[in-house]
Chain A
Amino acid sequence: MRRPLKRKRWMTFSSFLTEEDFQLVLDSSVVINVLATGYAPAILKALAVPVVVTDYVVGEIEKGTASGGAESGLLNELIADNVVRMAQLEATALQTFYGLVSGTVSVSLGDGEAATLAFAHGSNSSAIIDERKATRIAGERFGTLRLATTIDLLAHPNVCSALGPGVLGDATLRALQFARMQVREHQFEWVVALIGDENVASCASLRRLARQHRGRSQKEFAR
């Protein structure tokens, strides 16, 4: 049985998402995680704000499905059920997109990432993106664009209360195991508290952070 969340550890991290985030634009790097949770409709509905994916992201998920996996079908169900809205880039957003996919490789982004940022920027929405390079470029080009990650979605108070710690823990563990969801350092303890220490070893994307934390604990213990 999953252990209950300890109040203290639960408080170590809070979602970046606030009331200011009135519309969320999800990148492929996030969609893949949310679908892997097995609770995508519940999570996205609990957010209680419109959730958008660009047609480029839908296309990328479709292409990924060609190499095995059922993600595209699941995403299309979410769109058909109006849990997620599919949007196309127009006018200004299209020009922004063009700027993000052009230039040398080190300053350009893949179509889905660029479309996510361009649409979010053009519609004053928040971009939910786990990708490091896209996050860096977004910070450099659009200082005011609100950015958050998959973990911010999962740690949103509405999602936490709608799912409860048991289901949320399962959902998070599935995203880690099946989609190898990326976790940032400041999110690590919250994730471990949620999935349980015993499950960390089964999540390849947590290995590096787990090792760093172990090293830090050993040093503190030695003092």
Chain B
Amino acid sequence: MSNRADELSPVVLGERLKVARETANLKQETGAKAAGIARTTLIAIEKGQRPVRVEELQALARCYGVSVNSLLRRESVHVDLVPRFRSLPDAGDVGTDEAARKLNDLVRAEVELENILGVERPRNYPPERTILSGDVRAQAEQDARDLRHWLGLGEGPVQDLFALMDLQLGIRVYSRRLDSKVSGLFAYDDAVGACILINASHRRDRRNQSGGHELGHFTATRRLPEIYRDEKYENSREERYANAFGRAFLTPARAVMQKFKELTAGSSHLTRRHIILLAHFFGVSRQAMVLRLEELELTKKGTWDWFKDNGGITDEQVRQVIGPAAFEAVGEEKPLSSRLYLLAIEAYRKSLISEGQMSEMLKLGRAQVRELLDEAAAEEEEVDDLFKLPH
């Protein structure tokens, strides 16, 4: 292979090939077979001791499911979050592996775009808490209250949990359609910071619950990667802490008590309508709301079980109470990653990346990429010089 001045050194390229292979969860034998070389040759390539030939590079990229350009682009960053998820005891199925790769790809794209554009993501992380011995729920309740205070949130409902995590704390937050069993993923890396991926196929209340849980994870067990399945039994103190943190953060005790008092004033019984209105106000699921009421002793233990045994609280009942428009608004979300999209649009506008590169970085089809670009162009045309940014 030719050796031009702008080419990567064999050591850097070898390292990138190794990360790409590990991310694809492939053994050296598989890569070597695909490239038609001996395993020892691939080892030498990965160590930078033997330059890779262009035909071999082409075969390896195809085998690992990455583009040749992503391996050779100078600014390309190689994040290795996937192997960390694989080391978790409950990892291993196709859905979680795919979700881990999605998160890895999105983080990698965002960091590369930051490098290309010369911008930095400010981090405003609160100090990390540790889980102490004793009642984890009480600790989580206290920590959630402290974080709310630190963020200046007061006691009200959180309007947009994901914007808060993204814009106020500087956590990398994305939502994409994932396997239905996976609710969210959390990872932390010193270089790229905290990263969260939420399942966009879930309804808003469930997404919020996942987000609240991951925020708890971020608060107390930041260094540990996690795959969160909200239907799974709470089998560890960390899990119990994160769930309790999420509940306390989204439904603060005092605010729930206050709202409960207002809504039930004059009523003799707790009805489905009360639950629906409270859950909608705090942006949480009906089940989460009832369990929180039980926890705060605003209703008897077993209230949720009673509702479940008596027909539950149906979507139709929710639609009737909050209206069809509000009901539709809390449904499935369009995959989002606002900041990543802004960076990509800016890089495209400056002719730094092509449509093909943008499509590959964002893992979006061409039509979706063009939709983003058309929307951005339309907005740009409306902008008057008065709104020109000073930098």
Contacts and interface: CB of A to CB of B under 8 A. Distances in A.
B7 A178 contact: no
Size class of the A contact interface (CB-based, 8 Å): 35 or more
B142 interface: no
Contacts of B4: 99, 102
B30 interface: no
Given A108-B69, A110-B360, A208-B381, A95 B74 contact: no
B351 interface: yes
Contact of A28 (B68, B366, B375): B366
A211 B69 contact: no
A133 B349 CA distance: 10
A60 B2 CA distance: 27
17 contacts: A29-B356, A32-B366, A32-B367, A64-B367, A65-B365, A66-B365, A67-B365, A69-B367, A98-B68, A103-B73, A104-B74, A113-B355, A131-B354, A132-B351, A133-B354, A134-B356, A179-B366
B58 A105 contact: no
A16 B62 CA distance: 35
B356 A105 contact: no
B353 A133 contact: yes
Nearest to A94: B54
Q: B112, B357, B368: which has the most chain A beta carbons within 10 Å? A: B357
Nearest to B66: A111
B356 A101 contact: no
B69 A204 contact: no
Interface string B51-70: 00011011001100001110
Contact of B353 (A105, A180, A207): A105
B365 A29 contact: no
Interface of chain A: mostly helix, strand, loop or mixed: helix
Interface of B: 1-2, 4, 6-8, 54-55, 57-58, 61-62, 67-69, 72-76, 112, 116, 347, 351-357, 359-360, 363-368, 370-371, 374-375, 377-378, 381
B359 A110 contact: yes
Contact of B370 (A67, A107, A180): A180
A103 B74 contact: yes
B65 to A, nearest CB: 9
A141 interface: no
A110 B367 contact: no
Given A29-B356, A69-B365, 10 more contacts: A32-B366, A64-B364, A103-B7, A107-B6, A109-B357, A111-B68, A113-B356, A132-B351, A133-B351, A205-B370
Q: A104, A105, A113, A179: which has the most chain B beta carbons within 10 Å? A: A105
Given A95-B2, A108-B72, A68 B365 contact: yes
